[in-house]
Structure 1
Amino acid sequence: MGIFYEQSKMFSGENSGTWAGGDIDYYGPNWRSQRRKARERDYFTCQDCGITEEEFGQELSVHHIIPFRNFNGNWEKANQLSNLVALCEYPCHRKRHSKMNK
């Protein structure tokens, strides 16, 4: 069955139950500054598990609470600080995305 699914792509891409429209490569011209502001506002600390960037060993991810794609390209609204939260990439950011896809 695994070979069949792989060859037919029955459960991949748009055919997957967790498909959300593919990756978004560009979050608008203010993304970098808003991302930095969100991390600063959240004291460089994951808002789910409490790990700091120093403990994590890298910059935290910044997650759109309401998905960026829901704003139909309106990056000004999508990137408002009230819609952004700092999270460690694993496991917290990935958990947020897996909850959205169920």
Structure 2
Amino acid sequence: MSTYYAENEMFSGANSGTWTGGKVSYYGPNWYSQRRKVRARDKYTCQDCGITEAEYGQELSVHHIIPFKQFNGDWKKANQLSNLISLCEFPCHRKRHSKMVDDIV
């Protein structure tokens, strides 16, 4: 399934439901440590569907509840543990981003 999506660019660039003109590629120097803390806090479990990393077969994504871009580069505030949540990438993380796009429109 992921090969099909990749080949057809269904979730990339302007075809992505999360496309907002580009992606933030740097979340600050504390991002990796905060990411580890959030996954541990959430017991390595997706906070939307309840799947664990062991069941999912890979690390969960860590999502900014209030988008990083809204902090205008203030990574200390953006990366507060209270603004971060563990989610499986598909479908939960993508659903969260799709809802954010719907809220903006």
TM-score by length of 1: 0.82
One-letter amino acid of the counterpart of residue 59, structure 1: E
**Matches of 2:88 and 2:36 in 1, distance apart?**
14
Gaps of 5+ in 2: 1-12
Deviation (angstroms), 1:18:
6.2
* SS, match of residue 86 in structure 2: strand
Tell me the distance in 1 between the aligned counterparts of 2:78 and 2:85: 12
Aligned CA distance change for structure 1 residues 99 and 17 (closer, same or farther; 3 Å):
closer
Aligned-residue CA RMSD (Å) = 1.8
Q: 1:51 to 1:21 in 2, by over 3 A?
A: same
Between the two proteins, what is the percent identity of the paired residues? Answer: 75
How far apart are 1:17 and its partner, in Å? 9.0
- Checking the alignment, whether the CA contact within 8 Å between 2:17 and 2:98 is kept in structure 1 is no
Trace 1:10-89 onto structure 2 (pairs within 5 A): 13=14, 19-89=19-89
Aligned residue type for 1:74: D
Cα distance per residue 1:33-88 (max 9 Å; x no partner): 00000000000000000000000000000000000000000000000000000000
Larger Rg: 1
SS at the partner of 1:26? coil
- Structure 2 length normalisation: TM-score? 0.80
Aligned partners of 1:38, 1:17: CA distance in 2, in Å?
25
